[in-house]
Chain A
Amino acid sequence: MTISSLIDTPSELTDSTSSKSAIVLMTRVRLARNLAGFSFPGWAKAAQREEILGICRAAVTATPQLKRCFNVTIGELTELEKQILVERHLISRELSGAKAGAAVVISKDQAFSVMMNEEDHLRIQVLRAGFQLKKAWNAIDDFDSAIEGSLDFAFSPTLGYLTACPTNLGTGMRASAMMHLPALMISNQMEKVVRAVNQLGMVVRGLFGEGSDASGSIFQISNQTTLGESEDEIIKRLSSVLQSIVEHEMNARAKLLEADAGKLLDKVGRAYGILQNSHLLSSNEAMNLLSLIRLGIDLGVFPDGNRSVIDRLFIEAQPGHLQHARKGQFEPSQRDVLRAERLRSEFANFARPDFNLTPNGKN
């Protein structure tokens, strides 16, 4: 498989269309695993990194989940290809900058991806569209148990799975949800939410993880601690936090409509106009406009089936994807022109807004 075919293949993230993903775009679970008897990737010598990679790759590609897969070392990828994989949440920025002896294996539907010799020997990720933490956990649990048949994981009865960084000890599990929270942003409640979520032992980050901003009103919420609770307990706790954020967002939407529906619909309508007609769009502006269209879909201004178009554009409006679509022949200064061009053509055929619907939100 090549990067192009990966982008063109329908994926879990970009092509699932259901109203269940209205506020929670996707859920992810990742597990950190290491082989006993080897140094962690950051400390291992080059030859040992290769040895680790060989062992892990053999075990991972022998699983049915990854029978048909995209399987490359980081060295084989161009800068652009790495950026595309980062934008699709399939590899981390850390892996894209890794030295020799690092690799990634990605399933055809991009639901599974396994990074090798990133911070840990193995970083397994399962991605599911919508609010499906439990399903994602079950899928990754099965996968992990399967590769355990041939891999000796570094494990301590008291500390659990041993990881390069002590913050991942224990379960080695990070479960997260990507949430679209425009009404909480518009009504300036995000700060309050972030503080409350932190107090519950969960972390809030922007779309692209640590240090990224909240463009498009998209946030990632994940568990902070990995030791002292079982995977099920962590998932349950995170789920209830997510559920209450969903409720807050729904309430915020209802309040905005109640206070001044015209003001909210004006934002949606203007976003539509700009996306159809603009000639210069920065990444940040594009994300925020798309976010408003997505809110419009949730409110019934646009048909439900268009949500997946927006979710795909959230990704395809990123610089790497734009450059790929243009086959590499453009300069960074042209990026905003290209982005506007791309979105204009998408929105030329997009459903017209219907503001006559009684926008009660879709409960």
Chain B
Amino acid sequence: MANPLKCDLCSKPATVHLTQIVNNKVHKVDLCESCAQAKGVTDPSGFSLADLLLKASLNPEETAGGMRCENCGFTQNDFKKHGRFGCPLCYEAFRSIVEPMLESMHNGTAHTGKVPHRALERKSLYDRLTKLELDLNEAIKSERYEDAARARDEISQVKQAFNAKIPD
């Protein structure tokens, strides 16, 4: 610190440095301790916010590269804070940070254990059904009755398979 900053208000040496982003513009304020106190900057709750803003602005790369899960809104910073993810789809959204982590964390990076076959089968049938129902509606709308008939037959087949798999 060869060239200490001076307080913007009274030109004493500044010890409190506040950075705020308002409407995407960075505002920096340097204050001495007494002016900061007078302005309420040192109020604990207000100050932690300032600190947060400061850190974020000092590290623009991190905020730009900060990933976010579209499904649940969980962010990379949330992960840093909690060490846990927001939802199962986060593993897709944060794949690039999860993969290197797994190597040091586990005895391998690919699952070789139990597979919930029934649940997966049910899901694939369900997805197929959803798609067929969409197809059917499309076909009816555009008056492609042959396609519609085919979709309808397939739907009843899938439903049968579905009921056979899941008795209830």
Contacts and interface: CB of A to CB of B under 8 A. Distances in A.
B82 A170 contact: no
Interface of A: 34, 36-40, 42-43, 119, 141, 144-145, 148-162, 164-167, 169-171, 173, 201, 225-231, 233
Given A43-B74, A150-B168, A164 B109 contact: no
Interface string B60-85: 00000000000010100010001111
Nearest to A165: B84
A153 B111 CA distance: 15
A150 B72 CA distance: 24
Between B74, B107, B108, the greatest number of chain A beta carbons within 10 A of the residue's beta carbon is seen for B107
Given A164-B84, A227-B110, 10 more contacts: A36-B123, A39-B72, A148-B116, A150-B168, A151-B119, A158-B111, A160-B111, A165-B84, A229-B112, A231-B114
B87 interface: yes
A228 B113 CA distance: 8
Interface stretch (B45-53, B97-105, B137-145): B97-105
Contacts of A159: 91, 111
B4 interface: no
B106 interface: yes
B contact residues, range: 20 to 34
Given A43-B86, A166-B101, A227-B111, A156 B106 contact: no
21 contacts: A40-B84, A40-B85, A40-B86, A40-B87, A42-B82, A43-B85, A144-B114, A149-B118, A154-B88, A156-B91, A157-B111, A164-B85, A165-B84, A171-B111, A171-B114, A225-B107, A227-B111, A228-B107, A228-B109, A229-B108, A233-B112
Contacts of A141: 114
Interface of B: 72, 74, 78, 82-88, 91, 98, 101-102, 105-116, 118-120, 122-123, 166, 168
Contact of B112 (A39, A144, A162, A230): A230
Contacts of B83: 165
A166 to B, nearest CB: 6
B93 to A, nearest CB: 12
A144 B117 CA distance: 12
A204 B82 CA distance: 24
A141 to B, nearest CB: 7
A152 B88 contact: no
A93 B116 CA distance: 29
Given A153-B119, A160-B111, A166-B101, A228 B106 contact: yes
B72 A152 contact: no
Main secondary structure of the interface of B (DSSP, over half): loop
Closest 6 CB pairs of A and B: A228-B108, A160-B111, A154-B88, A43-B86, A227-B106, A228-B107
B105 A166 contact: yes
A227 B102 contact: yes
A164 to B, nearest CB: 4
Contacts of A42: 82, 84
B69 to A, nearest CB: 9
A160 B118 CA distance: 15
Contact of B109 (A38, A119, A145, A227): A227
Contact of B123 (A119, A152, A233): A152
Given A38-B87, A225-B107, A227-B102, A155 B120 contact: yes
Given A151-B119, A152-B119, A166-B105, A36 B88 contact: yes
Contacts of B109: 158, 227-228
B122 to A, nearest CB: 7
A61 B8 CA distance: 66
Nearest to B72: A39
A229 B118 contact: no
Given A152-B123, A160-B113, A43 B87 contact: yes
B116 A153 contact: yes
A65 B123 CA distance: 26
